[in-house]
A and B are shown apart, each in its own frame.
Chain A
């Protein structure tokens, strides 16, 4: 079964440092997403990306965050200056069509665990 892959699986970073989380969505998918899950809490939507631009972002996704599709396969999430409260599991996801479209399924990666110290 095709899968979304994420790297690194775990990263520890100093507060104030920049972090880039990488994702390889499923190859024929057109919609890409980042979600995060703070330990013990629910999964929260960050951003969606389609046709090389952000299609939606949540309140969490402030100016410290950015996303990019630098080439035909990778999808990255950058946190410019990390804060302690950015510590969370970050999930990349992709779908062939938009969320809610008939027959669409959203596939999540295994996550990147970010610890800010």
Chain B
């Protein structure tokens, strides 16, 4: 079936390095994507979103890249800090599909090493 999934369940990076978290999606109709961060015991926190008419979108220390050809989404975090340690989820949605619900991936656990 169609699903949103992640390549790696755990990613460990040195503090100060850049990190890249990947997400693969298989629903070609999806045209809206969001990255969420979830710290232990907390709810998902919105990081950044992107629509399918864009390839790249930048926020504060974060960049989301969308490759529709291979149905791949990535989140780049620059100069990682200890506070970036969390589980990161990508989520997808079909805009205008009459559906409100987001489909989440399983999550990648980002570990920042000192």
- Name A residues whose Cβ lies closer than 8 Å to a Cβ of B: 4, 31, 33, 41-45, 48, 50, 55-56, 58, 91, 93, 98-100, 105-111
Overall SS of chain B's interface: loop
- Which residues 83-114 of B sit at the A interface, judged by CB distance below 8 A? 89, 91, 93, 95-96, 98-107
Interface pair B106/A42, CB less than 8 Å apart: yes
Interface pair A31/B100, CB less than 8 Å apart: yes
Measured CB to CB, the nearest residue on chain A to B107 is A42
The smallest C-beta distance from B106 to any residue of chain A, in angstroms, reads 5
The smallest C-beta distance from B2 to any residue of chain A, in angstroms, reads 14
Q: Is B82 an interface residue (CB 8 A)?
A: no
Interface pair A43/B89, CB less than 8 Å apart: yes
The 9 closest A-B pairs by CB, nearest first: A45-B101, A108-B43, A48-B100, A43-B104, A100-B95, A56-B100, A100-B32, A42-B104, A42-B106
